């Protein structure tokens, strides 16, 4: 079951965007999604669209994401 997050606890989109841009220079990051999922891998991110892609080479997995879906990013 997914617990709704109060609006006051949502991350700032500008802060997330800055962390995503920095994360593009890292070999691997962990994206935490609002629905509880976590994915590891290299990322691309287009700030003006608010969209990106995470790529996990080890699992041969990739997926698109929107900044609105994210709860956080860890390096």
pLDDT digits (tens, 9 = 90+) for 8-41: 666 688 999 999 999 999 999 999 999 999 999 9
The more confidently predicted of residues 67 and 4 is: 67
Considering only the C-alpha atoms of the chain, give the largest distance between any 2 of them, rounded to a whole number of Å.
Answer: 36
Global model pTM greater than 0.75: yes
What are the residue boundaries of the structural domains of the chain, listed by start?
11-74
- The radius of gyration of the chain's CA atoms, rounded to the nearest angstrom, is 12
What's the CATH number for 11-74?
2.30.30.100
List the one residue out of 43, 40, 22, 21 whose CA is nearest residue 32.
40
φ and ψ of 6, to 5 deg: -60, 145
């Amino acid at each position: 079951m997914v617990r709704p997050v109060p609006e006051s606890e949502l991350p700032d989109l500008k802060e997330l965007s800055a962390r995503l841009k920095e994360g593009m220079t890292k070999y691997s990051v962990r994206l935490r999604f609002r629905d509880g999922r976590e994915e590891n891998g290299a990322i691309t991110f287009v700030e003006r669209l608010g969209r990106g892609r995470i790529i996990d080479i080890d699992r041969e997995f990739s997926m698109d994401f929107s900044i609105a879906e994210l709860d956080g990013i860890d390096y």
